[in-house]
Amino acid sequence: MGGLRPGDLLEIDWEVGVFKAVRALWVRLFPAPPPYDAGRAAVLADHLRPLELLAQLVAGEAVSLKPARVHGGVRGRDLLVPAWVDRASAPEENRGLLLLRVVHAAAMRRVSRDLPLPQDEGERLRASLRAVDQATDVLRGELPLFGPAWDEAVGAELLARPSDVARGRPRRTEALRAATLRGERPWADPSLFAGLADERGPDGPPVLLFGALLAADTEDATSGRTPDQHRAPSAGTEHEAPAVEDLRRVLLDPEEQEQKVLTHTFEKVETLDAWEGTVQREDGSDELDEHLEALQEVDLRSLIRGGQEAGSVLRADLDLKADIPDVESIAPGEHGLAYDEWDHRAARYRLGWCTVYPTPVRATRPSWAAEARSRHQRLIARLQRRLADHRSRLAPRPRQLDGEHPDLDALVDHLADVRAGRTGDGRLYVRQQRHLRDVVTTVLLDVSLSTDGWVADRRVLDVAREAVLVLGDVAHRLGDRMQVLAFASATRNRCRVLEIKRWNEPWAVGAARLGAIEPMGYTRIGPALRHATADLARQAADARLLLLISDGKPNDHDRYEGPYGIADVRMALREANGMGVATHALAIDPSAVSWLPRMLGAGRWHVTHTPDALLPALSEVYGRWTGR
C-alpha cells in the first residue's frame, strides 16, 4: 500500500460517508411520495399563473401568491395560501376551495391595504378577523357566485374543525376563528382578545378558507464594522427557501457574540434544526447543496443579521421593514460614486444613499471567448446578415419636398392651413429611403449568486454571458457602439459595477473579460441602473438603449427585498426614460413574470423559459430597438 500523498483526504467517520451514499441512492431510486393525494389534490404550483392574475384583479394591484407553511395570510403584497388542497374527494372541488382561498386573500389585501397592523398579538388577531369579514362582504357584493360557494365551504370547514383543542391559547383562538366562520363577528368585542398574548401554547389549528394579516420585521443586533465586511462578496451557491410567514427579531448580546464559547458534543450527529438561542462559531463554508434537504424543513422565522461573509445564500421572500440598520463597509482606499435611492414608504429619495464602485475586470480566461465563439459561429453570421438586411431596407419618410408618392396627411394639413388663411407647408411627398440612426447600447448583466442556479442542465450565468458574447460580436461587425457592464452588491455601501467593456475599448478586450466573471453577492439593481443610465446619457447619439439581463428580483444583505426594492427599480427606470434612455429587461427565470411587469410595464421585458431562447430574444430586442 502506498502512503498518503499531499492533498489526499482521509475520511475518519467512514460510517457517515457510507450512510450518505446509501441514502442518496435510496432517495433517487425510491423518492418520497408527495404529502397529498396526487389524484385529487389541487396544487398551487400547477395553477399559479392564472390564480395570480385573478388575485391581482380582485386586489386591484400587483400581488404575488406564495405557498404557506401553516396558516398563511396576507403579508403586504404577498398572499400566502396553502401549497395544496386535498380535503374534498373530487379534484374539481379542491380546485374550487383553492380558488376561494386565493380570491378571499386578495380581498383581504384590498380592505386592509392602508391599515396599520397592531403590535399586540390579540389586537392583531382581531384586525385579521375583521378583515376576514370585510373581505367576505366585499366579495358577496361584487361576485354573485361567491356567496353560495363560500357558504357551502364554510359549512364543510366547521364540520372539519377539531373538538378536542387544548386549553389556553389554542382553545381561545379556535373559538374566535370558528365564530368568524359562523358570521358572528367576534372582533366587535375587544374583551374577547384581551390578554391573548399572555396565554401559553401554540395557535389553534389553521383554517383552510382564510389566513391572518402578517407582519415581517427584522432588526440588526450589532453595530460597527468588522474586517470581514471589507471583503468582496464571495462566490457560492444560492437556492430558494420555503416561504416564511411571520418573522421574529433576534437581538444578540454583543459580548456573547464575541465569546462564542467552544462546545463539544461527543456524539456527532449531522443535522439541522431551528435556532434555539445558542451562539455558535461560523465557518462560512459553501455546503448549501449538502444541507438543502434538511433546510426545507427547518423553521426559518428567527432572523439574525451579521457575521462573516456567507459562502452560500438560501433566498427567501421577506417583507423587511424600514427600521433595519444598514451595514457600512467601505474598504480603505476605494472611491465610489453616490446615487440616490427611492423610499416608496416615505415617498422621497434617500439622497446619496448608495455607493457604486466601478471595478475593472482582468481577463483571467482568455481562451473562453474563442471556445464559446466556436459554438455559435454560424449563429453570429446569421444574426449579422439579418440585422444588416433589416437596416438596409427602404422605409417611407413622410413630409418631404419631393418623393415617389403624395403624402395624404400632409396634403390635408396643407389645405386646412390654406383655407384658414395661413401659409401651407410645401413638404407634401413621401420618399422611400434608408434611415440610419446612431444608437449606443449598454448591456447590464446581473452576476449575483442567483445566476449560479441551473436551468435545463445549464448554469444561468454561462447562458447569459454567451448571449452577451454573441450580441457583442454582431454589434462589432455592424459597427455599433456598445458597452458591457456587470453588477452585484453587498449592502448599499458596496454596489459593484464590473467594467467588462468600456466605450473606448476594442470588443476583443471585452470578449476576453467575459470569461472572468463569476457569481457573487446580491442583486441591488437600482444603483447599477442609475450608474449605467448616467453614463449612457452622456453619450452623443440619436438613441440610447439599456439592456438588463437579470431575473429582475431585487435583494441585498441589508434591506432591498420585496416592495421596497421593486419600487426603487421602477423609479430608476422612470429616471432613465426621462433622460432619453430606453430600457428593456430579459430573464431566464419563468417566475420573473410575477415582478418584471410591476417594474417595467408592458412591452419592455422578455421572460424566456429555456436557456436556448435567451439569445434569440436578446438579438430580436436589440434589432428592434436599433433598427427603428
The domains of the chain, with CATH numbers, are: 42-213 (no CATH), 227-332 (no CATH), 367-390+437-626 (3.40.50.410), 395-433 (no CATH)
402: its cell numbers: 419631393
Q: Which of 466, 470, 454, 461 is nearest to 488 (CA)?
A: 461
- Range of 33-42, 312-321, 428-437 with top mean pLDDT: 33-42
Amino acid at 332: P
Which class for 68: exposed (0-12), middle (13-18), buried (19 or more C-beta within 10 A)? Answer: buried
Cα angle: 556, vertex 448, 589; to 5 degrees: 100
Q: How far apart are CA 409 and CA 428, in angstroms?
A: 8
Q: What is the residue-wise DSSP string for 458-493?
A: EEHHHHHHHHHHHHHHHHHHHT-EEEEEEEEESSTT
Is the per-residue pLDDT at 328 higher than 50?
no
User: Is the model's pLDDT at 379 over the cut of 60?
Assistant: yes
What is the average per-residue pLDDT within 70-84? 88
At what angle are helices 614-626 and 377-392 packed, to 10 degrees? 20
pLDDT greater than 60 at residue 581: yes
Q: Which residues contact 5 (CB under 8 A, 6 or more apart)?
A: none
Rounded CA-CA distance 488/497 in Å is: 7
Q: What is the DSSP letter of 409?
A: H
C-alpha cell at 342: 427611492
Task: Please give the Cα distance from 412 to 409 (Å, whole number).
Answer: 5
Say what the pLDDT of residue 235 is.
44
Does 401 score more than 70 pLDDT? yes
Say which residue the cell 458574447 belongs to.
Answer: 469
Q: For residue 435, what pLDDT band results from cuts at 50, 70 and 90?
A: low
Lowest mean pLDDT among 404-408, 524-528, 563-567: 404-408
The answer on pLDDT for 359 being more than 50 is yes
pLDDT at residue 621 in the model: 86
The three cell numbers of residue 287 are: 455546503
Q: What tens digit of pLDDT does each residue of 99-123 get?
A: 999 999 999 999 998 888 888 888 9
Calpha distance 605→549 (Å, rounded) = 10
Task: Please say if the pLDDT value at position 442 is more than 50.
Answer: yes
Confidence check: pLDDT of 276 > 90:
no
The pLDDT score that the predictor gives to residue 226 is: 34
Lowest-confidence pick of 29-43, 72-86, 125-139, 255-269? 255-269
Q: Would you put residue 601 in left (φ > 0), alpha (ψ -120 to 50) or beta?
A: left
Residue 268 pLDDT class (50, 70, 90 cuts): very low
pLDDT at residue number 321? 40
Lowest mean pLDDT among 137-141, 210-214, 229-233, 539-543: 229-233
Q: What radius of gyration, in Å, describes the C-alpha atoms of the chain?
A: 29
Q: Give 94-105 pLDDT, tens digit per residue.
A: 999 999 999 999
Compute CA 477 distance to the chain's CA centroid, rounded to the nearest angstrom: 35
For 209, residues 6+ apart whose C-beta sits below 8 A from its C-beta are 97, 100, 101, 104, 150, 153, 154, 157, 181
Higher pLDDT pick, 622 / 255: 622
To 5 degrees, how large is the angle CA 260–CA 264–CA 269? 115
Helix H or strand E encompassing 239: strand 237-240
The pLDDT of residue 498 is above 70:
yes
Return the pLDDT at 329.
46
Indicate whether 474 pLDDT > 80.
yes
- Choose among 611, 572, 489, 517: nearest CA to 232: 489
Q: What confidence category does residue 284 fall into, taking pLDDT thresholds of 50, 70 and 90?
A: low
| Cβ-proximal residues to 565 (8 Å cutoff; 6+ apart), any chain | 524, 525, 526, 554, 555, 556
SS3 of 421-439: CCCCCCCCEEEEECCCCCE
- Alpha carbon of 99 to those of 74, 93, 403, 573: distances in Å? 16, 10, 61, 35
- Residue 454 and residue 427 in contact, taking contact as beta carbons nearer than 8 Å: no
Q: Structure pTM?
A: 0.59
Residue 619 confidence (pLDDT): 85
What is the percent of the chain where pLDDT is above 70?
Answer: 75
Give pLDDT, residue 304. Answer: 60
For the chain, the average pLDDT equals 79
